[in-house]
Amino acid sequence: MKKRYVYLLLLPGVLFLTIFMLIPIILTIGTTFFNDNGFTLQGYLNFFKDRYFVDILLTTLRVSLVTTIICILLGFPAAYYISKLGTKMKAIMLLLTIFPLLTSSVVRSFSWMIIIGKNGLLNNVLQSIGLIEEPLNILYTPTAIMIGLVHLFLPLIIITLVGVMENIEFDLLKAAESLGASKLTVFMKVVLPLCVPGLVIGSILVFVGSFTAYTTPALLGGKQRVISTFLYQNAITLNDWQVASIVATIMIMVTIIIIAIMNVLARKLNPKG
């Protein structure tokens, strides 16, 4: 009887998610498979036959993947350093890490536009010291989008990894070294496998966030389309909700596939769980 009452506590949250998330998603996906003539896959066939659409999807995947890799490379050493600090310094460093998340993505994007624009701070500095003669064309390119997304999502992977790394026993590393393992071997055989759960969760957060982000690509990418801005263009500008629903469905399916791949990779890297 008591367990039944405990399950009832889940009811409000389950109803909310079902009504406002699950049902709309099912309806959105369902409309892409039916038209006036019944069941059809023509919308998806048209999407993947069009080179322009496919290029947008591939560009988005490339930007998301590179952003995730950069966040891992930057976030892993930072998280390792923070995890080894004392309680007070760790709290300060985590506060500094979280601070960018408190700033609007619009403000951050406009800040990067000022920095990497043709007449921006970066080009002015590089030209003043003679490293370049012509301004670098960074703004409104995939590179600009990746810079903004790394700034946006790097704190997430640092926070995730710190939570995992601070639970690694220092004595375990010392024991491995005392048995003759080099620092590189200790990292590859001990530290990295123990960090796999944090890496997987952080990578999923960064990849999915980058893949579905709209504000940063819209401001820093300009006419450079990614799948989120393409969806917005079809839904709001062109009022083509059929294509917008197909794009949304593809985004959902890609997200599910990536999560499945990351889980399989995690089991391969850390078979003991």
232 vs 34: which has the higher pLDDT:
232
Assigned domain for 139 exists: yes
Q: Which CATH number goes with the domain that contains 98?
A: 1.10.3720.10
Assigned domain for 230 exists: yes
Q: What is the pLDDT of residue 38?
A: 79
Rounded (10°) angle between helices 241-269 and 192-212 = 170
The 10s digit of each residue's pLDDT in 65-121 is 999 999 999 999 999 899 888 889 988 998 888 888 888 888 999 999 999 988 889
Yes or no: say if 231 and 244 are a contact pair by the CB < 8 Å rule.
yes
Choose the weakest-confidence range: 88-92, 251-255, 266-270: 266-270
Assigned domain for 191 exists: yes
Which residues pair with residue 39 across a beta bridge?
A: 34
CA geometry: angle 55, 57, 63, nearest 5 deg: 100
Assigned domain for 126 exists: yes
* Token pair for 55: 């290029």
Q: What is the count of structural domains for the chain?
A: 1
Banded pLDDT at 218 (limits 50, 70, 90): very high
Q: What is the pLDDT of residue 112?
A: 93
35 vs 164: which has the higher pLDDT:
164
Mean pLDDT within 237-260: 88
Q: What is the pLDDT of residue 175?
A: 82
Q: Residues in the chain, how many?
A: 273
Mean pLDDT within 176-192: 80
Assigned domain for 106 exists: yes
pLDDT at 271 over 70: no
The 10s digit of each residue's pLDDT in 131-167 is 888 888 989 999 999 999 999 999 999 999 998 888 8
The percent of residues in the chain predicted with pLDDT above 70, rounded, is 97
State the virtual CA torsion across 155, 232, 138, 122 in degrees, nearest 10.
-50
pLDDT at 272 over 70: no
Yes or no: say if 145 and 221 are a contact pair by the CB < 8 Å rule.
yes
Residue of 163, 175, 171 lying closest to 79 (CA atoms): 163
Most confident range (mean pLDDT) of 14-28, 58-72, 116-130, 242-256 is 58-72
Q: What is the residue range of 169's domain?
A: 49-269
Q: Residue 247 CB: number of other CB atoms within 10 A?
A: 25
Assigned domain for 26 exists: no
Assigned domain for 125 exists: yes
Q: What is the pLDDT of residue 273?
A: 54
Assigned domain for 18 exists: no
Q: What is the pLDDT of residue 86?
A: 85
